[in-house]
Every structure is written in C-alpha cells, then in structure tokens.
Structure 1
Amino acid sequence: MKLVTYLSGSEERLAMLSGDLLYDAADLHSSLPSTMRAFLEGWDDLYPLIAQSKPGGTGIPVDDALLLAPVPHPVSLRDGYAFRRHVETARRNRGLDMIPAFDAFPVFYFGNHTTVQGQGDIHCMPDHFEKLDYELECAIVICRQGTNIPATEADRYIGGLMIMNDMSARTLQMEEMQLSLGPAKGKDFCTVLGPWLVTTDELEQYETPCKPGHTGRSWNLEMTAAVNGITLSKGNFADMSWTFAELIERASYGATLYPGDVIGSGTVGRGCLLELNGTARRESPGHKEQWLQPGDKVALEVTGLGKLCNTIIRQPTHWSILNQKKKHADTSR
C-alpha cells in the first residue's frame, strides 16, 4: 500500500494511492483520520481498516495533486550511517583508514524535523551553494511506541519505507565538524521525504537476507540519483550493513520511540557528490568537481518506492555566515 499526504486547499490530507489515483482517507472508511500523524498513532486499529478498503468513486489524479512529505511533521528525525561502502570510500578519499567502530555498533545523528519537505522546490541560502549536495537514502517511519526494542522484534515497529534526500551544504558541514560537533548547519535547512510511504507488505517481493552477522529485514531495491536527467549515482538498498531493525534497537535504548519518528538509512555507496568528487579527484587530480547549482533538477528513484523530484532554488539574499566567520577571524588577529 502507498500512503500519501496531499494538500487540499490549505488542509493536509491523508490518502491512499491506487494506480494513478489518490483516494482520500475519508472516502475509504468513515473511521479513518484525515492526517498521517493520527493514522500512525492509531496504527494497530487503523491499518486493517485502510488495508481492507476498496477504492471507490472518483479519485484524484496523482499528477494533479500537490504532494507533501508523506510524514510532513515527523515527531523526530534521525539519520543513520549504515552503508559501509559509503563510509569506507569517504574516509579513503580523505586519506583515512576505515574506522573499526563502524562494525561495532550503528550510529545516527538528529536532524531538523521541522524542515522536512516533499517533492518540489528546495530553497537554499547563498552559503548552502558552497558545495551543495544530495544524498541518496531510504527512510522508515515508526508506527508503534516502544522503549528498549530488541532488533529481533524491531521490524514490527516499521510503518513503511520512503525515499529520503538528506540535503547537505558540505562547506558548512565540514567547517563546524572540525569542532567535533554536528552535522548541524550543513544539514538543517532541508530534508526531503517522499513521494509516498510504502508499507512493508507491498515490499515482500523484494525481501532478501541481511548481511551475515546482522538482524532484521532487508530489501533488494535499486537506487539511483540523477541531476538534470543525467544519472550520477547507482546503488542497492540491500548493501545496507546495519539494518533498520538494528538502528531501532540502538535508538530506543533508554529512550522511547513514538509513532511519527523518522529514521534514515544514511547514504548508499556512491550516493552523493562528496563521495563521487572525492573518488574522481583521487584518481585524477585535475578532476573538475560538480556540485548542485540553482535551477538543477534532482531526481532520486528507488525500486518499489517511486521517484522523488526537486528543483534547487536560490533565496534572494546575500547574507552569509561564512563571511561573518571570516570577519571574526580577521578581527581576532
């Protein structure tokens, strides 16, 4: 099942996608709520109702609807670091050995859940264009409350999967992380989710064993990222080393997860410009780096999860925190 949040007038509405048509939750069953948040909070009672509903009447063509992020107001946003190839390559490109801690436990950082958006325009400040990057990922949403959830039970807390683009301003990110904090300003301006939430029952045909020594469900899903119609990144979700079940176990240790919490996978191998540029530069020192520019169209596509499209827009302002930093550095000499 594919679940969507769309805008009807000024109201956010929950709908089910069937074929090319959206069917509003209210038209599927009188007991279904109008929002994704309420639906997730009542998952155990409400999921059977929508799963058994038969679309009827006149649906809304999905191409005519204004789609928001499937989970437009996450309770929280965490992003993992679960693909070994991405971590290993990014470190090698910086002249660093692979860090052994990667194989010891899964890690994540907290993102800004208030700047989550769906497909459409991404508005960026001038400093964001200092090495602006996409990141090709998948994400889950939690559908049941739980604390200290073991990985062996964690898959039942997954409401569904969606594509995630963890937008990154690399210069801001790298500067602040020199102080062993972050990422923060390099990430908090935008995270994209969509185009819809796909429940795990619809993905059963793609299930594949997870990596040896790990626990949890895994899916064989091809992943691509294209900029202006040119494919730059290719990967597979089955390459995820740490599973979502293991990320849930880690995240819920001594903390409560709630319906509406979103957890990202981290970037698939070769799934961002930082990694692609670093590898090309290491192999050819004269490589001309590519970063996202105003007007660029970014399309992330994942088997079974759809295609998430965004256009990069420059905000009409010249104010810069990078310039402020330089002024402070000059006056402190």
Structure 2
Amino acid sequence: MRFVTYTETDGDGGDRVGVLDADDLVHALPSGIRLIDLLDDPQRLHDAADDALRDPRAVHSYASLRLRAPIPQPPTVRDFMTFESHVEGVARLGGPEAGPPEQWYEAPAFYFTNPYAIQGPQDDVRIPPGCTRFDFELEVAAVIGRGGRDLSVAEAESHIAGYVLMNDWSARDVQFNEMQVRLGPAKGKDSATTLGPVFVTPDELEPYRAGNAYGLRMTAAVNGRVVGEDMWSNMAFSYAQMIAYASRGTKVRTGDILGSGTCGGGCLAELWGRRGLDAHPPLAQGDTVTLSVEHLGTQTCRVTERAERPVGDLRATSHPHHGGRP
C-alpha cells in the first residue's frame, strides 16, 4: 500500500490521509485520521486502505495535491550512516588517504535530529542562518510501527510499518565547525528535514528485496543535472540492525523515523571530498533540488534565502584559571 498526507484545499484546510491506487488517484480516508494513528497494527492499516479504495470520502489526482510529509510530526528522528561509499567520500575532506574510522564498522551509528523541522516534499527550504555551504542528503527512512525495547535483530524488522524518502538538509560549514567540540551535529542539521512524498508499506517493496534493503535506484539532481546515483541495496547495515541498536536500553515508538544516512553520491559534501571544493558550488537561493527513489517517489524543493537575525555574542566568558580565551 502507498499512502500520502495532503492539505485539503476544498475543506477546512487541514491535513488528510489518502491511499494511492495504480492509476495515481488518491482515495481519501475519513477526516481526522492521521497516518501515525494506524501504524502500530499492520492489519488495521491495510483495512483502512481497503475501505478507502472501496468507498473513498473523496478522490483526487495525485498530481493535483499539495503534499505534506506523510508523518508531519514524528516523535523522534534518528539519522544513521549506513552507506560506506558516502562515509568514505566525506572522510576525504580530511585528506586523500582518510577513510571511515574503525568504529564505524562496529555498529550503525546515529544522531538525533529535529522532529520540529519536518517539511513536505514540495516545500521550499530556507538556507539556515550563518550557513555558506548548504547541502542536501538523499536517504530512505524506516518508520516504526509497533514500538519496542531491547529488540533483537531477528525481531526488529517486524516493527517497520513502512518507508519514506528523506532529505536531511545540512549546513556543512556550521556542522563541521561545531563538531570540533566532539559532539554530534546540532545547528548544522536542525533547520529542515524533508519527508515524502509517499509512505510505502514493506509488502509493496518485497519483490525488490536485495542486499540489506531493496534493489531500487536513488538519484539526486540539482537544477535538473544529476549529481549522484546509488542503489538502496548498498546499505552496509540493515534496518533491523539499526532498530535493534536504537532500541538498546530504551524504546522505539510508533511513528519514529530512522534515516538510512546518505547514499553514495547523495550529497555535495561527498563530491567535495572526492573531487575538491570546486567540484560543485554549495546550494544557493533559486536552486532546485530533486531527489527520487524508485517506488518511493520524488521530492522537488526550491532553495530560498533567509535574512539573518542577530542573536548576540555566543562566545564563552574567558576565565584565566581555566585557560579560557575570549
């Protein structure tokens, strides 16, 4: 099954969920139902889709809708790094011989990003304040259905409700500066994350299963020019491993988003690492970023400028006894 969340322009302007049929028609579910409300029970999710296909509250052309993120307000967003070619490429920003650290191979590393920054697949994205090297990241995220704690790899995959295309927009200069403090990315990553257009259940993708994911092509383009491609199946870690690690000593909950991390060739930073900083200019006002994954759809987002808002001096106060500096 394939689902979308869209803004209802001919009603009260609120969000509506619909199921997409083979003819690209969206059959609306009853008003007030959110996709996240159906995810913890696969049978209920499929029954809701079947009911809408038989007796829809409304039918729309997919192309006519203003699409929202399928899960507009996820409880959490974890972003992993599971494509080795991407990790290798970005590592080379530190030198031509640099590569993934040994620790990367030990477990699927992740960081928490901002669940309040979720955007839809057609929304403009603003360049974050202080950023001069703006970038995109082409990923696929798993969405948790049934929650759980301390899940094993063997049982974790059954907790996946579906998958969505994800773009983790990145202020690279801000990110690289703040990570010198030896914490994960923060302001370099929290301005926008684009999800969608389509939420796809695992059974829909089963014929394409390959490697650690699915044998489907992932493509990134800037202003109509393809800048990177990869296969989704090239993940070095599986989603089951990701979920098992995320749930260790804590819970994953219904609606949680777990991003795969950037695929090979799925961002400009990788190009900069492999070919130098002049390989492609950073994203600028007026650029259009188009990301697509077979069977998960396409995002097309325009980059816009945002005026800086002064926040005052953020530097630490120097203390001579602690070796501080102004």
TM-score (norm 1): 0.87
Would you say the 8 A contact 2:271–2:279 is kept in 1?
A: no
Equivalent residue for 1:268? 263
Pairing partner for 1:169 from 168, 171, 174: 171
Which whole-Å deviations, capped at 9, do the CAs of 1:236-283 have from their partners, x for residues lacking one?
A: 1111001111000000011111111000000111211011122111xx
Would you say the 8 A contact 1:160–1:200 is kept in 2?
A: yes
Give the deviation of 1:55 after TM superposition: 4.0
Which whole-Å deviations, capped at 9, do the CAs of 1:34-78 have from their partners, x for residues lacking one?
A: 11121224x245123135333446511122211100011001000
1:318 and 2:305 matched: no
Equivalent residue for 1:84? 84
AA of the residue aligned to 1:278:
G
Equivalent residue for 2:229? 234
Worse-matched range after superposition: 99-108 or 45-54: 45-54
Q: Distance in 2 between matches of 1:327 and 1:258?
A: 37
Equivalent residue for 1:185? 187
Q: Distance in 1 between matches of 2:241 and 2:186?
A: 24
Equivalent residue for 2:44? 46
Pairing partner for 1:125 from 117, 125, 128: 128
Equivalent residue for 1:213? none
Equivalent residue for 1:144? 146
AA of the residue aligned to 1:147:
R
Residue ranges of structure 2 left out of the alignment (5+ in a row): 319-324
Give the deviation of 1:98 after TM superposition: 2.8
Worse-matched range after superposition: 102-111 or 49-58: 49-58
Equivalent residue for 1:65? 65
Equivalent residue for 2:322? none
Q: Distance in 1 between matches of 2:316 and 2:161?
A: 48
Q: How does 1:239-250 map to 2 (within 5 A)?
A: 239-250=234-245
Pairing partner for 1:11 from 6, 10, 14: 14
Q: Secondary structure at the match of 2:155?
A: helix
Equivalent residue for 2:292? 301
Alpha-carbon RMSD across the aligned residues, in angstroms, is: 2.2
Give the deviation of 1:124 after TM superposition: 2.6
Distance 1:275 1:288, change over 3 A: closer
TM-score (norm 2): 0.89
Equivalent residue for 1:194? 196
1:23 and 2:33 matched: no
Residue ranges of structure 1 left out of the alignment (5+ in a row): 28-32, 211-217
Q: How does 1:204-219 map to 2 (within 5 A)?
A: 204-210=206-212, 218-219=213-214
Distance 1:152 1:294, change over 3 A: same
